Amino acid sequence: MGRRRKLKPKTYELEIESLSHEGRGIAHLDEKVIFVSGALPGETVIAERAFSRAKFEEADVSKVLVASPKRITPKCCVFGICGGCSFQHLSGTDQIDAKGKWLKDAFEQQAKTEPKNWLEPLQTQAWGYRRKARLGVRFVAKKDKVLVGFREKKSGWIANMDRCEVLHPSIGEHLVALGNAIEKLSIKSQVPQLEVAVAENNTVLILRHLEPLSVKDEQILLDCAKDLDIIFYTQSGGEETVKPLEKSVNLTYSHPEHNIEMAFLPTDFTQVNFKLNQKMINLALSLLELNGGDEVIDLFCGLGNFTLPIARYAKHVVGVEGDSGLIERAKENAQRNDIQNADFYKADLFKEVAGFEWFRGKKYNKALIDPARSGAIEIVELLAKLGVERLVYVSCNPATLARDTARLIKIGYKLESAGVMDMFPQTAHVESIALFTK
């Protein structure tokens, strides 16, 4: 990506026509497309140019002249500055409607199709839901203050925020206290970030530090942890250097309807929204229509988030994942929950897998895949070879889901159902789920 050159100030009045897939208003001016942050369809706004290219420009709203009836007052006082949220000026219902439209557009434009049945959107709490996050930390010498929070839009600076409305309250309500504690450290200018991991039973913060902590520094953090009822871990280098400041703790979340408790490490990938995750699991199980004779494969299984609930209702399930640590945790979670009909294997699913035990000569009549944003185009080719007749695809990127849908249709699958799930309210992130049958 080229460097953004410094632009001369430019202000323009714009009529907003539609909403982009990143949640920005779209306008046209002088044969250019203008993407306007903070604008909604139907509005007339004054906007300040922020970026320019030959065919498009980016701008930020400075004044709304004619407001959309859908516009609401953002809950957060730094909305528009902080890069953590992009949708607080739109109600939760309108947010999920927009995300549903983006998914529909992706299917139509890239796969030339749409599902036979649109699923009802899944939503839960709109605020205080986020349990995993990476927060920036910065000592600002001019203010003699340590800031803790998300970074500003289009900037490396930390937003000056007292609280965060989307973070779980155990962290979101204590940003100032965390900043005050770090400010007392001898290495306050050498702490660049905090990694958040909030379980159902404990809250962990991993403090990244570029210089060693003194004994006094450690006591400052322990006192802060006691006051806020959190646990500090520290990280001096790569992920292998993450360790508890005082003692390690168990982190867990649950699938209560399926009598499952999942244990995880602070560095493990877990869904950020536990309540939505529970709804998502229930929907996936319903779409799979599991019975006691099913052989199921769960690709990109992580620590068994879907695999273990599936095991409660299928004959046998295999989970495959590329991260060896997650596979170990998945096996431990199976033992923890007395699940004996689940097996887990490590494999890079973007490379040749024909020689693996779980693939060679095996047949699975049902499958679930939950890939990263890049999708699973290499994997969908394998599904027919494995005998999969019913597939649930969970996606965090409508574009790659639609691309993979086109390929699935080409090799003989039908898109039966699809819908969106609001895993990240107040943001333009779209989580979706789709059912395919052979």
Active site residue ranges? 396
Task: Mention every residue, 6+ apart, whose C-beta is less than 8 A from residue 5.
Answer: none
* Phi, psi angle pair for 146, to nearest 5°: -100, 125
Rounded Cα–Cα distance for residues 244 and 380 (Å): 40
Q: For 150-294, where are the E strands, in sequence order?
A: 193-198, 203-208, 231-235, 243-244, 251-255, 260-264
Four-CA torsion 100, 420, 86, 112, nearest 10 degrees: -50
Q: What H or E segment, with its residue span, contains residue 20?
A: none
User: What does the DSSP assignment read for 288-300?
Assistant: HT--TT-EEEEES
Q: Which two tokens stand for residue 366?
A: 């049902």
DSSP-derived 3-state class of residue 35: strand
Rounded Cα–Cα distance for residues 336 and 181 (Å): 37
* Phi, psi angle pair for 52, to nearest 5°: -140, 140
The residue behind tokens 């097996």 is: 343
- Please check whether residue 230 is in contact with residue 249, taking contact to mean a CB–CB distance below 8 angstroms: no
**Burial zone of 55 (CB within 10 Å; 0-12 exposed, 13-18 middle, 19+ buried):** exposed
